Amino acid sequence: MTQHTTQRTIGPFKVNAIGLGCMNLSHAYGVPPGPEEAKALLLRALDLGVDLFDTAALYGFGANETLVGQVLKPHRQRFTLASKCGMTGVDGKRVIDGRPATLKATCDEALQRLQTDVIDLYYLHRRDFNVPIEDSVGALADLVSAGKIRAIGLSEVSGETIRKAHAVHPVSAVQNEYSLWSREAEIGVVEACREVGATLVAFSPLARAFLCGELTDPQTQLTEKDIRLGMPRFSAENYAKNLQLLTPYKAIAAEVGCTPAQLALAWIMAAQPKAVSIPGTRSISHLEDNMGALKVQLSADVVEKLNQLINNKTVAGPRYPAATQKEIDTEQFAA
């Protein structure tokens, strides 16, 4: 049996191997839940032992940071707070801007919305290809010196970018999409994180709900403005192919004695023993199910069986449309 502990290290912080991504309480997956429903989920997460909450200036164009600040301020000492800069809403549109002055202004605004004196972990949400990464990270280093943030992270970056950034200031975390069906981090990021001592933080570890096993027809089950409807893997043609992976995947979950979602999260804990996953959800029952993965341990045989079943060669479609992919710094598999 592959042994794992449930504690992880991110820079100076100790957190559980499963945190909470707060994005879909305000952003990207159709109409967000009401404030009371969102509040109940955040507080239930605390009760279940979630001690890493991840938000960003982009999510709801500030609304998510405001929500997290309002609900969790009384409990600030109980968790590690992560947010992001470098991609925000400007005049109702998403804009990538890694200029130092912009990052510092975004941080000041975030501190107000989050109702805190310091953000524990602050990520550059996307690399701005018009700004040297050293300049963007230099601005984050200034924020550390000013006592406004405690640790620096990067998101959706390559191994080369991680090394360049780390030469300016220690990088504590790298947040990239990572799951059984999104393995790009294995090309260069995992090794770069090992070299510099950064923790891999996996967003969308449940493959945007695919690995939960309940999303069988995105075209009818997803609501208008859900970003998945524009993602190639969720097109009618590609999703029909990807669904063929679910039956054997669910069979493995049944053999292990866990839910499909728990299997996906347990795979990350086994495959990357130092990584942290931050699944997002609007459902308290899904939240409870996710946290149950902390008790699931996988044998090396099960890990290998999963690796063979779902990987970059067996999944149909790239993870982003071409226009979005141009904004992403992470290495890609050859077509």
**Residue 54, amino acid:** D
Reduce the secondary structure of 279-297 to three states and give it as a string.
CCCCCHHHHHHHHHHHHCC
Helix 63-72 to helix 100-114 angle, to the nearest 10 degrees?
A: 40
- Asked if residue 228 lies in contact with residue 23, where contact means CB atoms within 8 angstroms, the answer is no
Are 76 and 120 contacting, i.e. CB atoms less than 8 angstroms apart? Answer: no
- Name the catalytic one among 29, 59, 122, 320: 59
If phi > 0 it is left, if psi is from -120 to 50 it is alpha, else beta; for residue 30 that is left
> CB-based burial of residue 202 (10 Å sphere; 0-12 exposed, 13-18 middle, 19+ buried)?
buried
Q: Specify burial of residue 285 (Cβ count, 10 A radius: 0-12, 13-18, 19+).
A: exposed
In sequence order, the 6+-apart residues with CB closer than 8 A to the CB of 7 are 14, 15, 16, 17
| Residue 133 CB burial class (10 angstroms; 0-12, 13-18, ≥19) | buried
Angle of helix 284-291 versus helix 260-271 axis, rounded to 10: 40
* Known active-site residue 59: yes
Instruction: Report, as residue numbers or ranges, the catalytic residues.
Output: 59
